[in-house]
Amino acid sequence: MQACAGTLRLRTSNQLDDASEKALIEKCRRQDYEAFGRFIDAYQNRVYGFIRRMVSNLDEAEDLTQEVFIRAYQHFATFDGRCSVKTWLFRIANNLCIDRARRLDRIPAHTDYYPSAEDDEPIDIADIRWEPEKVALDQELSRLVESGIASMSEKLRSVLLLHDKEDMAYDEIATTLSIPIGTVKSRLFLARSHLQNVLSEYIKQEARPL
Q: Which one is predicted more confidently, 138 or 43?
A: 43
What kind and span of H or E run contains 66? helix 58-75
Separation between Cα atoms, residue 93 and residue 87, nearest integer Å: 10
The answer to whether the predicted template modeling score (pTM) of the entire model surpasses 0.75 is no
* Closest of 206, 24, 73, 66 to residue 130, by C-alpha: 206
Q: What is the pLDDT of residue 131?
A: 46
Residue pair 34/70 in contact (Cβ under 8 Å)? The answer is no
- Is the pLDDT score of 78 beyond 90? no
DSSP string over 134-178: GHHHHHHHHHHHHHHHHTS-HHHHHHHIIIIIS---HHHHHHHHT
Q: What is the pLDDT of residues 89-138, one digit of tens each?
A: 999 999 999 888 888 765 444 433 333 334 334 433 333 333 444 445 56
Contact 32, 40 (CB under 8 A): no
Per-residue pLDDT band at 159 (split at 50, 70, 90): very high
Tally of CA atoms within 13 A in the half-sphere of 117 that contains its CB? 0
How much is the pLDDT for 172?
Answer: 93
What is the number of residues in the chain? 210
Domains observed in the chain: 2-103 (1.10.1740.10), 117-207 (1.10.10.10)
pLDDT bucket at 201, cuts 50 / 70 / 90: low
CA atoms 54, 55, 58, 60: torsion sign:
negative
